[in-house]
């Protein structure tokens, strides 16, 4: 998706690029790059193993794990868009980004970032059907239906992201080209335009609220229904089993939304005065959930954990992991 060709704004500003200026004054920034590299490697390994296990086991090829695989693909994509481009920029001071590359990165970064929240909402939907309508689950939630829902979500998020990026790409950039960020985020870029950007700000705010609060509201509503349904179960052991199946998903939701809320609080209350430090905290908080998601899901889901241990081919290690989880 090359915005420099498709979205000319008539000012020839697309012939020039941008300079990313984050971390200029951050001490020991190489440690940050090293930490992000480790996060990226673990993200790839964890999610690729999860995907391989599902593909190699027909018993896991069901609607639940289709939703899990969707999240794994999104996790890989989020960190692949953010981290690799940061290494040459900040390790080797190659901070120039062409116009087209900047807006392409902007689209994919926000697209996959917002896909995280919608993917978590999809997992909440799957748990809702499994707990509230267990006897009808196989007819309500077929593989085909889940694939269609996933395709619909991807199409919806494309529509949410494309317009803010298009309108930002069509702005005239005739003054500063220094983006105060570690990547081409929407807000730091459009603010450089030499024209009124109030519409872009309103559009970006509306999109962000929709992409974050929409899925979160759906998740809260879903679990309210689940809690009511579970409390009607007579058996205490069955209640606990039902709640336990939701625990993993709730951990993923907290892992995603808590850093976002923390970054928002830190930024608006100016609790971190150093801009480079704040950017570093925000970057790490965004990239850690995709790394931890497959680890948490694998350890907390007995069925998936057993398959992964068998794939690794270490029965003694498998027994120890299972024993530790049982004791924990």
Q: What is the pLDDT of residues 156-171, one digit of tens each?
A: 999 999 999 999 999 9
* 228 against 319, higher pLDDT: 228
- Please tell me which of 3-7, 217-221, 248-252 the model is most confident about, judged by mean pLDDT: 217-221
The mean predicted confidence, pLDDT, of the chain is 84
Fold entry, domain 27-298:
Rhopdopsin 7-helix transmembrane proteins (1.20.1070)
Range with the largest mean pLDDT of 56-70, 276-290, 300-314? 56-70
Q: Is the pTM of this model over 0.75?
A: yes
Indicate if the pLDDT at residue 241 is higher than 80: no
- E-strand ranges in 28-157 read 96-97
Q: So what's the pLDDT on residue 30?
A: 78
Q: Is the model's pLDDT at 103 over the cut of 70?
A: yes
How far apart (Å, rounded) are the C-alpha atoms in residues 88 and 97?
A: 11
Q: In what order do the strands lie in the sheet with 178-179?
A: 96-97, 18-20, 178-179
> What mean pLDDT is predicted for residues 16-43?
85
Report pLDDT for 255: 87
Q: What is the mean pLDDT of residues 218-243?
A: 82
Residue 201: closest CA among 171, 179, 180: 171
Asked whether residue 90 carries a pLDDT value surpassing 80, the answer given is: no
């Amino acid at each position: 998706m090359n915005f420099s060709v498709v979205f000319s704004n008539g000012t020839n500003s697309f012939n020039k690029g941008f300079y990313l200026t984050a971390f200029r004054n951050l001490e020991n920034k190489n440690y940050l790059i090293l930490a992000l590299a480790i996060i990226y490697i673990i993200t790839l390994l964890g999610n690729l193993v999860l995907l391989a296990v599902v593909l190699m086991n027909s018993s896991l090829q069901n609607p639940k794990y289709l939703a899990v695989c969707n999240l794994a693909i999104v996790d890989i994509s989020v960190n692949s868009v953010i981290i690799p481009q940061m290494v040459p920029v900040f390790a080797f001071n190659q901070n120039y980004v062409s116009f087209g590359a900047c807006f392409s990165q902007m689209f994919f970064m926000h697209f996959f970032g917002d896909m995280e929240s919608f993917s978590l909402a999809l997992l909440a939907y799957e748990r809702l059907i499994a707990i509230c309508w267990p006897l009808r689950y196989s007819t309500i939630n077929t593989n085909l239906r889940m694939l269609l829902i996933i395709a619909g979500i991807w199409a919806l998020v494309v529509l949410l992201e494309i317009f803010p990026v298009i309108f930002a790409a069509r702005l005239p950039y005739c003054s500063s080209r220094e983006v105060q960020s570690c990547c081409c985020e929407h807000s730091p870029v459009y603010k450089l335009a030499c024209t009124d950007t109030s519409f872009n700000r309103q559009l970006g705010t509306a999109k962000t609220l929709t992409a974050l609060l929409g899925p979160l509201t759906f998740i809260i509503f879903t679990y309210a229904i689940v809690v009511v349904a579970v409390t009607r179960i007579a058996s205490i052991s069955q209640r606990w089993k039902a709640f336990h199946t939701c625990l993993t998903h709730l951990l993923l939701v907290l892992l995603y939304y808590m850093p976002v809320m923390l970054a928002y609080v830190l930024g608006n209350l100016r609790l971190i005065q150093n801009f480079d430090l704040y950017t570093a905290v925000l970057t790490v908080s965004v990239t850690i959930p995709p790394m931890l998601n497959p680890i948490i899901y694998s350890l907390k889901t007995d069925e998936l954990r057993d398959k992964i241990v068998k794939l690794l081919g270490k029965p003694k290690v498998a027994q120890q992991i299972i024993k530790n989880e049982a004791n924990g």
